[in-house]
């Protein structure tokens, strides 16, 4: 990966690859999840230190990297021998729980089942060797395969299910007599056959779901295929996606009816988009709830926001964490908000910064208005009450309250509270200087 970040922590659609594998394992109803780590083990564990998954994972460290069979054997002492074992890989991130559940069921009395794939490009992968009856007799890694075996197109995905007791017995017999000098998990297939057992198999047709990631190119290819699949899914469920190849869902988003998504929209984290919401091009929405009938214009950024019904946002609006827009509120172009509630029907239309503020109903905030909420050490709150009118280029020096129906004159610096219904003007008296000449450019 040419990276300081462990491979399994590289994100795919906003989630670490390993997280996706853990979620797939949980979805099968697994009693316990064992994660075997090796290189950069501490970094992998630290990533989940504050995660809800951490308490549900049994961490195992493989201090020597001696192959897949050796890795699995490190976890087996903590596994009940009466259980079944499903072996997954942290760099195979698109596994489907339904497929895995079927594989576990296929394990049955034989105590072993293999997930296979028939592919046109088997290069570098272990081949499934079958006898004349079609039964699996062994899995041969490419480095150990002969010419005839290399021509086989059915490959081992690496995903296998076992009886825990049988797996332990087989792994105790493995050795490193192979081209890579490692303990192969796949050697268990030949051992099962030697014990007179029929090796069960399940073949998947979804190549992406079993695709491993070994470099950034493969990761990028999976990202594109996953994003396309997600776009197709939401479109099939009733969302209008104007370009299926130019929307990104990096997390989990739910959609109401008749939503329209324009090009280059990014949805990160956990979001909910209500009915009839329109999202303009080049918009980013992260961890936010968007109420029905809201329109978000182009190039807007929303993070950790609550947008209620029928709001108007953008273009070029930035709504930072803690922003709440009440019904029919309007945030216009080049407006930034943070930790602010904009009341029902209130408007902040142009070129303003409103932070640490409470704006009540039906207030109008003029262009260029800022709340001066930070003195370099502490933050302070501004309260603009209902029906207030804030003139253009007003600086509201917090803490300050603008009363109900009060008005500020354009260009004012407001440093104290304004009573209800009053006009406040806080600016220097204008002087016109006659016979004034503009400076001229000096010449050498």
Q: Which of 210, 231, 265 is the last residue of a domain?
A: 210
Query: Phi first, then psi: what are they for 332, rounded to 5°?
Result: -95, -160
Residues 169 and 223 in one domain: no
Query: Phi first, then psi: what are they for 184, rounded to 5°?
Result: -85, 130
pLDDT given at position 264: 98
pLDDT given at position 21: 97
Residue 285 belongs to a domain: yes
Residues 29 and 169 in one domain: yes
Calculate mean pLDDT across residues 22-47: 95
Active-site residue, from 10, 272, 350, 383: 350
pLDDT given at position 116: 96
Residues 410 and 266 in one domain: yes
Collapsing DSSP to helix, strand or coil, 38 comes out as strand
pLDDT band of residue 66 (cuts 50, 70, 90) is very high
Residue 432 belongs to a domain: no
Determine how β-strand 347-350 pairs with β-strand 330-333. Answer: parallel
Q: Per DSSP, what are the bridge partners of residue 383?
A: 358, 401
Residues 162 and 259 in one domain: no
Q: Domains in the chain: how many in total?
A: 2
Residue 438 belongs to a domain: no
pLDDT > 90? residue 440? no
Residues 51 and 130 in one domain: yes
Nearest CA to 60 among 34, 33, 30, 90?
34
Binding residues for UDP-N-acetyl-alpha-D-glucosamine: 7, 62, 67-68, 89-91, 126, 141, 156, 214, 320, 338, 353, 364
Binding residues for acetyl-CoA: 367, 373-374, 392, 410, 427
Rounded Cα–Cα distance for residues 265 and 259 (Å): 13
pLDDT given at position 404: 98
Distances (CA, A) of 407 to 29, 149, 255, 308, 394: 62, 84, 40, 27, 10
What CATH number should be reported for the domain holding residue 402? 2.160.10.10
Residues 73 and 191 in one domain: yes
pLDDT > 80? residue 444? no
Binding residues for Mg(2+): 91, 214
Residue 439 belongs to a domain: no
Q: For residue 238, how far is the Cα from the chain centroid?
A: 22
Binding residues: 7, 62, 67-68, 89-91, 126, 141, 156, 214, 320, 338, 353, 364, 367, 373-374, 392, 410, 427
Q: Which of 210, 228, 244 is the last residue of a domain?
A: 210
Q: Per DSSP, what are the bridge partners of residue 11?
A: 16
Q: Please tell me whether the peptide bond between 321 and the residue prior to it is cis, using omega within 30 degrees of 0.
A: no
% of the chain at pLDDT higher than 90: 88
Residues 336 and 308 in one domain: yes
Residues 380 and 286 in one domain: yes
pLDDT tens-digit profile of 231-259? 999 999 999 999 999 999 999 999 999 99
pLDDT given at position 109: 81
Q: Sheet containing 347-350: which strands, arranged edge to edge?
A: 240-241, 260-261, 278-279, 295-296, 312-313, 330-333, 347-350, 364-365, 389-390, 407-408, 423-424
pLDDT > 90? residue 55? no
Residues 78 and 170 in one domain: yes
Beta carbons within 8 Å of 10's beta carbon, 6+ residues apart: 1, 3, 16, 17, 213, 216, 219
Q: What is the pTM of this model?
A: 0.90
Rounded Cα–Cα distance for residues 348 and 365 (Å): 5
> Range of 127's domain?
7-210
pLDDT tens-digit profile of 256-284? 999 999 999 999 999 999 999 999 999 99
Residue 74 belongs to a domain: yes
What CATH number should be reported for the domain holding residue 156? 3.90.550.10
Collapsing DSSP to helix, strand or coil, 87 comes out as strand
Query: Phi first, then psi: what are they for 287, rounded to 5°?
Result: 50, 55
Q: Max CA-CA distance within the chain?
A: 109
Residue 114 belongs to a domain: yes
Q: In this structure, what token pair is assigned to residue 116?
A: 């296979």
Residue 410 belongs to a domain: yes
Q: Per DSSP, what are the bridge partners of residue 302?
A: 285, 319
Contact of 415 with 399, CB cutoff 8 Å: no
Residue 437 belongs to a domain: no
Residues 406 and 324 in one domain: yes
Q: Which of 174, 190, 210 is the last residue of a domain?
A: 210
Active site residue 47: no
Rounded Cα–Cα distance for residues 285 and 277 (Å): 13
User: Long-range contacts made by residues 120-128, C-beta under 8 angstroms, separation at least 24?
Assistant: 120/153, 122/150, 122/152, 122/153, 122/154, 122/155, 125/155, 125/156, 126/155, 126/156, 126/158, 126/186, 127/152, 127/154, 127/155, 127/156, 128/152, 128/154, 128/155, 128/156, 128/201
Residues 361 and 261 in one domain: yes
Residues 142 and 226 in one domain: no
């Amino acid at each position: 990966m040419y990276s300081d970040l462990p491979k399994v922590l590289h994100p795919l659609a906003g989630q670490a690859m390993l997280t996706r594998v853990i979620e797939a394992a949980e979805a099968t109803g697994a009693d316990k999840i064992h994660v075997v780590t090796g290189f950069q083990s501490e970094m992998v564990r630290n990533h989940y230190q504050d995660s809800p998954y951490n308490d549900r994972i049994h961490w195992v460290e493989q201090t020597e990297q001696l192959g897949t069979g050796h890795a699995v054997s490190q976890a087996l002492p903590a596994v009940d021998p009466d259980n079944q074992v499903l072996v997954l890989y942290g760099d195979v991130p698109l596994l489907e729980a339904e497929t895995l559940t079927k594989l576990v069921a296929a394990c049955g009395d034989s105590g072993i089942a293999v997930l296979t794939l028939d592919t046109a490009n088997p290069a570098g992968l272990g081949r499934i060797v079958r006898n004349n009856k079609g039964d699996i007799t062994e899995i041969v890694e490419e480095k150990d395969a002969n010419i005839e075996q290399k021509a086989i197109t059915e490959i081992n995905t690496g995903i296998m299910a076992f009886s825990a007791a049988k797996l332990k017995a087989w792994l105790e017999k493995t050795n490193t007599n192979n081209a890579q000098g490692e303990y192969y998990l796949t050697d268990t297939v030949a051992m099962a056959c030697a014990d007179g057992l029929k090796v069960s198999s399940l073949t998947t047709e979804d190549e992406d779901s079993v695709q491993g990631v070994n470099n950034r190119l493969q990761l990028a290819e999976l990202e594109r295929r996953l994003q396309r699949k997600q776009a197709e899914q939401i479109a099939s469920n009733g969302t209008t996606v104007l370009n299926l190849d130019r929307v990104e869902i990096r997390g989990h988003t739910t959609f109401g009816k008749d939503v329209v998504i324009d090009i280059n929209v990014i949805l990160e984290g956990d979001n909910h988009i209500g009915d009839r919401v329109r999202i303009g091009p080049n918009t980013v929405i992260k961890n936010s709830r968007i109420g029905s009938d809201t329109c978000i214009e182009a190039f807007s950024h929303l993070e950790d926001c609550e947008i209620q019904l029928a709001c108007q946002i953008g273009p070029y609006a930035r709504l930072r964490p803690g922003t709440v827009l009440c019904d029919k509120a309007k945030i216009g172009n080049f407006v930034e908000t943070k930790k602010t509630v904009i009341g029902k029907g209130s408007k902040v239309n142009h070129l303003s910064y409103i932070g640490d503020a409470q704006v009540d109903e039906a207030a109008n905030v003029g262009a260029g208005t800022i709340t001066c909420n930070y003195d370099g050490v502490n933050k302070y709150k501004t309260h603009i009450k209902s029906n207030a009118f804030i003139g253009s280029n007003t600086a509201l020096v917090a803490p300050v309250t603008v009363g109900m129906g009060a008005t500020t004159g354009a260009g004012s610096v407001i440093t104290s509270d304004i009573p209800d219904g009053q006009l406040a003007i806080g600016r220097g008296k204008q002087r016109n200087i006659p016979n004034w000449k503009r400076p001229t450019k000096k010449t050498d």
